[in-house]
């Protein structure tokens, strides 16, 4: 059983993670996936509409799905289709999150108005503790729009203030304003938003075009003309021009080739109708899709989408490979799924320290392996989509820190096999992916690099190495946490628990191939006990700190060389540079303290835990200062989380020092190490 369980866990986890790929998000007669695969150019990157839908919703409302008050829900693509083709309906969906109370007042709502009244007492109770939402936080465009001019005014005032000096209200109102504007801009990107039957209108335009142009020419030359017709022409031109100015998505691909500059906005394409009298395929497609979506004609919808894909193959076929891949990647959501697996593995591994260590411990380890495979695949896919090394912005740095830390844990677990690696992997994997998830609310995480950062070589070396330094310092810190918490509260540290030895002891009947190195089949008699869990952890911490010192030092130096190549200065005392320097100094301090004998096990653990504080400052704290070359990630709620984290670490360090060592549960005089190595029952030497 214990042999099979881990493998069941492994396969089960993989299946869970990959489930997103083949279970459709919703059952619909419409070929939503086909629509989602249509590529557009936004912010300098060609991406599928699926990404546009998901990231827009994540930006507006921290969540990908749209839920109405009556519990109906829509997928991101269904929402996008409504925004593009049925805006009057989309305006009623509550998709804009407002948390700031002053902004709520701005739109005329008080917290009282918004209290959710649950019908059953169970949920009322849960609401008090915030397990279910207390108030409505999401509002529809319809609700907000009456106050739009006031929001705009406030946003203009806020815009004039420097970014790092804005109050929370100013940041919130500016964010809301930008979201509303983005939302409007999407509407102008596909069809003219105020026309229910755009296709019909376009056909009419084609019909009257020759006469209309004549009328305009005549008017210009001050000759008799059909005034109404001329006016109508001008009005249509103005509408198309508005679309080309306000639309944010470049929906029309170039005729041939991969040149990004060839992409145009729908408005520009529509203006060309006046020149060519023809409705080009993109115009026809989206106008027809509007008709199909509004009338519920799924057959028309699907056939239009299919035909458009054929057209795309002929024009931007090269790009389609990546955009199709991106859609599958979005569907799989490997990071979100892995996050759940990591949490599960963490709990099972902890349980494994209490009962069934062999079965649960190895199962947890295999779960970690499955999640690790998924995150690796996810990171590699992102690299392929972006054409860049793995770390390009704060979001990807979070993913990579987790990947490095979990990778090291897997190695540790392989060496020591005492569950510590698994527990650490689960916790670190979960935390980093959770951080990454929150960072994804800022918008599309696959973004273009600014000119000064545009160097794959340095991105691949300096950034990756420094991030590995961060990841390993966090790992050492977490191991320190395990040491202190397990030492103070449990009897686990002095246990001499070497699973490998135990397993061999239980499998004494199985003949194992002798270890090749010595060549001798005989072994010397068994030597006294292997190390305790506590000793093992301290050794792990030391090894990881060595690794961290090496990588953070090399990474920092590579950064200096990059700076020297780019702007002639090896070291500029930038906050992020300083943060990295502090990490290097701290890690080397730990090593020197150990070599000098100034700290023993407890001291090492405390110093390592403080390394967590130092690294979180360098990774996030420096961004919050808002100055220097590295200020590219500004977060608000994150500040409080950072403070909370730092306080928690300091409390644990204090705990370790205030409680005298001989009062630690693990080191109390009455505690005898359990599971002493059974003498003489060991298997023949490998």
Partner 1 sequence: MRNVIKSFVEFFVSLKLTVVLLALSALMVFFATLDQTQLGVWGIQHKWFQSLIVLQNIKGLPIPIFPGGYFLGGLLLINLVSAHIYRFKLSWKKSGIFITHAGLIVLLVGELLSGVVQRESTMKLDEGDTKNYSESTHYNELAIIDATDPEFDNVVAIPDALLTNDASLQYAKLPFRVVVKAFYPNAFLQMRNQVPNAPDSLATMGVGTQVVATPMPLTYKENEANEPAAFIELIGREGPLGTYLVSTQLRPQSFELEGKKWQLVFRPERYYTHYTVTLEKFSHDRYAGTDIAKNFSSKVRLQTDDGHTDREVLIYMNNPLRFDGLTYYQASFDPSNEHNTVLQVVKNPSWILPYVACAMLFTGLIIQFGISLIAFASKRRRQNAHA
Partner 2 sequence: MSTHRLQFLLATLTLLTFAGCRDPKITSYRVRKEAPPKMPLVSSEGNAPQLHFKAPNGWSEQPAGSVRVASFAISGTDGRKADMSVTQFPGDVGGDLANVNRWRGQIQLAPLNEADLPKEVHEQDFPAGHFSLIDMVSDKPVIEGKYHSRILGAWLKQPDRTWFFKLSGDADLVAAQKSAFEDFLKSLTISAPTVTDSALGGTTNSDVSTSSGVAASGADTGAGAHTVTWIAPTTWSAKPLGAMRKGSFSVHSDGGEADLSIISFPGDAGGVAENLNRWRGQIQLATLDAAALAASSSTIANGNLRFTVVDYSGTTASGPTRLIGAILPLDNETYFFKLMGPESTVSQNKQAFMDFLKTVQVR
Among residue numbers 521 through 560, which ones bind partner 1 (CB under 8 A)?
A: 523-524, 526-527, 530, 539, 543, 546-547, 549-550, 553-554, 557-558, 560
Check binding of 683 to partner 2 (CB under 8 A). no
Q: Which is nearer to partner 2, 233 or 609 (CB)?
A: 233
Q: Please, which residue, 233 or 601, has the CB nearer to partner 2?
A: 233
Q: How many residues does the chain have?
A: 686
The interface partner of residue 550, options being partner 2, partner 1, none and the CB cut-off 5 to 8 Å by kind, is partner 1
Q: Is 101 helix (H, G, I), strand (E, B) or coil?
A: helix
| Residue closer to partner 2, measured from CB, 155 or 613 | 155
Which partner, partner 2, partner 1, none, binds residue 268 by CB below 5 to 8 Å per kind?
A: partner 2
Q: Is 573 in the site for partner 1 (CB under 8 A)?
A: yes
The site partner of 554 among partner 2, partner 1, none (C-beta below 5 to 8 Å per kind) is partner 1
Listed ranges 225-233, 370-378, 617-625, 641-649: which one lies at the site for partner 1 (CB under 8 A): 617-625
Name which of 204 and 518 has its Cβ closer to partner 1: 518
CA distances 112 to 102, 115, 132, 536, 649, Å, are 14, 6, 17, 56, 38
The DSSP bridge partners found for residue 115 are: 135
**Region 618-657 residues binding partner 1, contact defined as CB under 8 A:** 622, 625-628
Q: Within 10 Å of residue 26's Cβ, how many Cβ atoms?
A: 12
Residue 455 within binding range of partner 1, rule CB under 8 A: yes
**Candidates 41-49, 59-67, 136-144, 374-382; binding stretch for partner 1 (CB under 8 A):** 41-49
- φ, ψ of residue 165 to 5 degrees: the values are -105, 10
Main-chain phi, psi angles of 611, to 5 degrees: -55, -30
**3-state SS class at 653:** helix
Residue 110's Cβ-count burial label (10 Å; 0-12, 13-18, 19+) is: exposed
Of the pair 98, 545, the CB lying nearest partner 1 is at 545
In three-state secondary structure terms, 139 is strand
Q: Rounded to whole angstroms, how far apart are CA atoms 428 and 402?
A: 6
Q: Which of the residues 264 through 283 are near partner 2 (CB under 8 A)?
A: 264-265, 267-268, 271-272, 274-275
Angstrom distance (rounded) from CA 191 to CA 147: 26
Q: CB count, 10 Å around CB of 3?
A: 9
CA gap 106, 108 in Å, rounded: 5
Task: Point out which span in 97-105, 151-159, 397-405, 447-455 binds partner 1 (CB under 8 A).
Answer: 447-455
Check binding of 208 to partner 2 (CB under 8 A): no
Q: Out of partner 2, partner 1, none, which partner does residue 160 contact, by CB within 5 to 8 A per kind?
A: partner 2
- Residue 24 near which of partner 1, partner 2, none (CB within 5-8 Å, type-dependent): none
> Which of partner 2, partner 1, none interacts with 430 (beta carbon under 5 to 8 A by kind)?
none
Cα 530 to the center of its chain, rounded Å = 42
User: Minimum Å distance from CB 217 to partner 2?
Assistant: 6
Least distance between partner 1 and beta carbon 629 (Å): 10
HEC-encoded secondary structure of 234-282: HHHHHHHHHHHHHCCCECECCCCCCCHHHCECHHHHHHHHHHHCCCCHH
- Residue 99 or 241 with smaller CB distance to partner 2: 241
In the list 28, 159, 195, 302, the residue contacting partner 2 (rule: CB under 8 A) is 159
Site string for partner 1, 142-181 (x = CB under 8 A): ----------------------x-----------------
Give the residues across from 42 on adjacent strands. Answer: 45
The only residue of 598, 632, 639, 640 in contact with partner 1, by rule CB under 8 A: 598
**In the complex, what is the shortest distance from the CB of residue 291 to partner 1, in angstroms, rounded to a whole number?**
28
Minimum CB separation of residue 384 from partner 2 in Å reads 32
- Shortest CB 539 distance to partner 1, Å: 8
478 interacts with, out of partner 1, partner 2, none, CB within 5 to 8 A per kind? none
| From candidates 568, 658, 669, 680, binder to partner 1 by CB under 8 A | 568
Q: Is residue 498 involved in binding partner 1 (CB under 8 A)?
A: yes
DSSP-assigned states of every residue in 30-97: S-HHHHHT-EEEETTEEEEHHHHHHHHHHHHHSSSSEE-TTS-EE-HHHHHHHHHH-HHHHTTSEEEE
Q: Is 572 in the site for partner 1 (CB under 8 A)?
A: yes
Residue number with CB closer to partner 1 (126 or 593): 593
- Selected range binding partner 1 among 24-32, 443-451, 479-487, 653-661, rule: CB under 8 A: 443-451
Alpha-carbon distance of 175 to 621, in angstroms, equals 22
Partner in contact with 123, chosen from partner 1, partner 2, none, beta carbon below 5 to 8 Å by kind: none
Q: What is the 3-state secondary structure of 428-459?
A: HHHHHHHHHHHHHHHCCCCCCCCHHHCCHHHH
Binding to partner 1 by residue 275, rule CB under 8 A? no
Does residue 588 bind partner 1 (CB under 8 A)? yes
Q: Which of residues 244-263 bind partner 1 (CB under 8 A)?
A: 250, 260-261, 263
First to last CA, the chain: 25
The two beta strands, 45-48 and 66-67, are: unpaired
Q: Is 516 among the residues that bind partner 1 (CB under 8 A)?
A: no
Site for partner 1 in 72-131 (CB under 8 A): none
DSSP string, 664-680: SGGG-TT---SSPPPTT
Number of H helices, E strands in the chain: 28, 6
Q: CB under 5 to 8 A by kind: which of partner 2, partner 1, none does 59 bind?
A: none
Inter-residue contact 504 to 515 (CB < 8 Å):
no
Whose CA is closest to 371, among 2, 22, 16?
16
Burial (CB < 10 A; 0-12, 13-18, 19+), residue 665, is middle
Which residues of the chain form contacts with partner 2 (CB under 8 A)? 149, 153, 156, 159-160, 213, 216-217, 220, 233-234, 237-238, 240-242, 244-245, 264-265, 267-268, 271-272, 274-275
């Amino acid at each position: 059983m214990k042999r099979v369980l881990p493998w069941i866990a492994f396969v089960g986890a993989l299946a869970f993670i990959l489930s997103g790929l083949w279970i459709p998000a919703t059952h619909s007669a419409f070929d939503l996936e086909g629509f989602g695969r249509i590529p557009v150019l936004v912010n300098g990157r060609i991406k599928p509409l699926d990404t546009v839908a998901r990231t827009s919703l994540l930006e507006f409302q921290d969540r990908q799905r749209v839920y109405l008050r009556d519990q109906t829900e829509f997928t991101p693509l269904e929402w996008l289709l409504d925004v593009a083709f049925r805006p009057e309906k989309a305006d009623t969906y509550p998709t804009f999150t407002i948390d700031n109370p002053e902004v709520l007042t701005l739109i005329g709502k008080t917290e009282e108005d918004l209290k959710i009244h649950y019908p059953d007492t169970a949920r009322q109770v849960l609401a008090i503790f915030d397990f279910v939402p207390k108030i409505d936080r999401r509002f529809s465009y319809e609700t907000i729009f009456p106050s739009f001019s006031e929001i705009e005014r406030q946003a203009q005032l806020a815009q004039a203030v420097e970014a790092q000096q804005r109050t929370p209200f100013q940041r919130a109102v500016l964010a809301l304003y930008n979201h509303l504007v983005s939302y409007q801009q999407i509407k102008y990107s596909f069809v003219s938003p105020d026309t229910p039957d755009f296709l019909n209108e376009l056909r009419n335009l084609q019909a009257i075009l020759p006469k209309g142009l004549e009328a305009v020419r005549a008017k210009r030359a001050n000759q008799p003309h059909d005034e109404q017709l001329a006016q109508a022409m001008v009005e249509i031109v103005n509408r198309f021009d508005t679309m080309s100015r306000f639309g944010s998505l470049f929906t029309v691909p170039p005729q041939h080739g991969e040149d990004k500059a060839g992409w145009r906005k729908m408005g520009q394409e529509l203006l060309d109708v006046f020149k060519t009298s023809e409705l080009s395929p993109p115009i026809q497609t989206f106008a027809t899709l509007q008709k199909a979506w509004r009338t519920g004609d799924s057959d028309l919808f699907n056939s239009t989408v299919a035909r458009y894909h054929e057209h795309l193959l002929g024009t931007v076929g090269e790009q389609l490979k990546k955009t199709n891949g991106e859609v599958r990647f979005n569907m799989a959501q490997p990071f979100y799924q892995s996050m759940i697996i990591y949490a599960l593995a963490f709990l099972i591994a902890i349980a494994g320290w209490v009962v069934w260590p062999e079965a649960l411990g190895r199962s947890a380890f295999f779960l970690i392996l499955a999640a690790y495979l998924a995150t690796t695949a996810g990171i590699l896919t992102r690299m392929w989509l972006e054409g860049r090394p793995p770390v390009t912005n704060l979001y990807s740095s979070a993913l990579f820190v987790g990947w490095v830390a979990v990778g090291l844990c897997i190695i540790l677990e392989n060496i020591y096999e005492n569950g510590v690696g698994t527990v650490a992997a689960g916790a670190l994997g979960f935390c980093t992916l959770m951080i990454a998830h929150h960072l994804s609310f800022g918008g599309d995480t696959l973004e273009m690099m600014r000119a000064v950062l545009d160097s794959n070589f340095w991105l691949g070396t300096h950034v990756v190495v420094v991030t590995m330094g961060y990841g390993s310092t966090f790992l050492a810190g977490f191991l320190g946490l395990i040491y202190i918490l397990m030492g103070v509260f449990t009897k686990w540290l002095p246990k001499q628990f070497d699973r490998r030895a135990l397993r061999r002891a239980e499998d004494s009947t199985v003949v194992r191939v002798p270890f090749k190195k010595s060549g001798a089949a005989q072994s010397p008699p068994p030597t006294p006990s292997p190390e305790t869990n506590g000793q093992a952890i301290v050794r792990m911490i030391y090894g990881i700190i060595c690794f961290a010192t090496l990588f953070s030092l090399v990474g920092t130096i590579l950064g200096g060389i990059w700076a020297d190549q780019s702007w002639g200065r090896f070291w500029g005392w930038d906050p992020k540079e300083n943060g990295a320097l502090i990490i290097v100094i701290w890690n080397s301090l730990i090593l020197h303290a150990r070599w000098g004998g100034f700290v023993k096990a407890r001291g090492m653990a405390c110093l390592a835990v403080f390394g967590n504080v130092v690294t979180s400052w360098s990774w996030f704290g420096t961004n919050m200062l808002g100055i220097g070359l590295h200020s590219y990630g500004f977060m608000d709620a994150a500040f409080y989380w950072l403070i909370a984290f730092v306080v928690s670490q300091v409390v644990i360090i204090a705990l370790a020092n205030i409680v005298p060592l001989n009062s630690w549960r693990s080191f109390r005089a009455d505690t005898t190490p359990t599971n002493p190595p059974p003498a003489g029952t060991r298997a023949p030497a490998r």
